[in-house]
Amino acid sequence: MALFTELVANTCMVEIGAAALKLAKKNSPDGVEVWYEIFERITHSMTCENSGGCEYHATPPFLQAVRTSLERLVIPTLIVLREEARDGGEQKYLVQWVRLLRLLGITDKTIRERHRLDRKCCNIVCPARNSGVPSTKKNTCTECHSVFYCDRTCQKSDWENHKNECERLAKATCADLKGFTSTYIGKRL
């Protein structure tokens, strides 16, 4: 499992596998099955009940490596696999992808939260964020001051997703500031 963890954590293996699944067409699945089997092994490692006798039993470092590798790929891959399945493509790729995400507890909310904490663009469909290219310019939401965007375009396109959490984050930030101020400065806001 150590080698598998190393490959997931330090190579483009997961990215290549996700790209292969996205490129699979209903009439030409050549070469995709190998990648499907890798994701099958990852899933198996999390569900196997034979922890002593199975060489693919997930360890905490492995799970963290898989989660980190997949988070950036989740949304673009899911969109393509859904479209492909809807158009008559292979359903098993979509089913496997969704199962893997559920096992890892990856949701759009967990992805947004991770990017918010890492001060990365919080727009789930941001091309720069999904390519892994760091964005130098960051816009912060003027209401909650808790989410970040590459630019105004990303911020505007994410408003439908963000508006529901904006007020909650603004209140939480305000409460945090009040507690911080009263504790460390001795004043109330």
- pLDDT tens-digit map of 113-133: 777 677 778 787 787 766 656
* Rounded Cα distance, 159 and 30, in Å: 40
Q: Of all residues in the chain, what percent carry a pLDDT higher than 70?
A: 80
Could you list the beta-strand ranges (E) of 86-141: 139-140
Report pLDDT digits (tens) over 73-95: 777 788 788 888 888 877 888 89
143 and 89 both lie in a single domain: no
Report pLDDT digits (tens) over 44-61: 888 888 767 777 778 889
7 and 98 both lie in a single domain: yes
Query: What are the backbone dihedrals phi and psi of residue 38, each rounded to the nearest 5 degrees, phi first?
Result: -65, -45
54 and 130 both lie in a single domain: no
Counting the structural domains of the chain, the total is: 2
54 and 137 both lie in a single domain: no
Q: What is the pLDDT of residue 99?
A: 92
- The count of residues in the chain is 189
CA–CA–CA angle 115, 119, 123 (5° rounding): 50
Beta bridge partners of 25: 28
Nearest to 93 by CA among 102, 101, 81: 81
Residue 114 resides in a domain? no
Residue 36 resides in a domain? yes
CB burial of residue 48 (10 Å; 0-12, 13-18, 19+): middle
The parent domain of residue 28 ranges over 2-106
31 and 91 both lie in a single domain: yes
Other CB atoms within 10 Å distance of the CB of residue 187: 8
100 and 52 both lie in a single domain: yes
42 and 131 both lie in a single domain: no
- Average pLDDT of the residues in 19-31: 71
- Tokens standing for residue 115: 């990017």
Asked whether the predicted pLDDT for residue 162 surpasses 60, the reply is yes
88 and 32 both lie in a single domain: yes
